[in-house]
């Protein structure tokens, strides 16, 4: 199978590391864009819609296939928040620490700690056509942070099957069970179709 070269449209270093690891032994070669992309204003009401629009915009600017994702945490007791606003839950320029702090504050006194991570990955071509793949992973929001790995809400997201938070897992362990890992496996299972689709012009 020919190598598939796709530009990764993200400024998130944590995501970039995960994608590089996930694609390490696949026919897809992930490259940083050859010219810097300005941050996009996210448009859409779902993770899939936002990921698709980001990939389409990046692909059009770069004139080459591009991959983007949108992911976030949906908490039952908060009526689905932070949801699509996960990266900026505590404000537009909020750090992971600040977002975690706000979520923990909002969860004080809540008996239902159930939460689900969602991830939608989209690949787009310059003409606007796009394919998308979605994954999910359910867990529990803790009362305090545990672990030093990962990024985002990983330190407060407890994954019962492994009895650890995402931040206590190695990158390889996390990729085997995470929302992004599931979406990526769906994408990898579709590689032959993707390659044909990319070569269609």
Give the residue from 173, 12, 76, 119 showing the smallest Cα distance to 165: 173
70 catalytic, yes or no?
Answer: yes
Residue from 69, 70, 154, 163 carrying the catalytic annotation: 70
Q: Among all residues, which ones are annotated catalytic?
A: 70
């Amino acid at each position: 199978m020919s190598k598939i070269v796709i530009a990764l449209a993200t400024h998130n270093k944590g995501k970039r590391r995960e994608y590089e690891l996930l694609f390490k032994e696949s026919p897809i070669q992930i490259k940083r864009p050859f010219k810097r992309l300005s941050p996009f204003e996210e448009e859409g009401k779902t993770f899939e819609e936002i990921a698709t629009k980001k990939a389409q915009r990046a692909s059009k600017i770069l004139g080459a296939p591009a991959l983007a994702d949108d992911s976030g945490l949906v908490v039952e007791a908060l009526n689905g928040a932070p949801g699509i606003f996960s990266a900026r839950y505590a404000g537009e320029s909020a750090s992971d620490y600040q977002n975690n702090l706000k979520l923990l504050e909002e969860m004080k006194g809540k008996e239902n700690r159930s939460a689900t991570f969602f991830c939608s990955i989209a690949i787009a071509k310059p003409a606007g056509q796009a394919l998308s793949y979605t994954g999910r992973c359910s867990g529990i929001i803790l009362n305090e942070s545990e672990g030093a790995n990962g990024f985002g809400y990983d330190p407060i997201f407890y994954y019962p099957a492994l009895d650890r938070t995402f931040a206590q897992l190695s990158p390889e362990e996390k990729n085997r069970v995470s929302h992004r890992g599931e979406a990526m496996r769906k994408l990898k299972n579709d590689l032959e179709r993707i390659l044909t689709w990319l070569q269609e012009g």
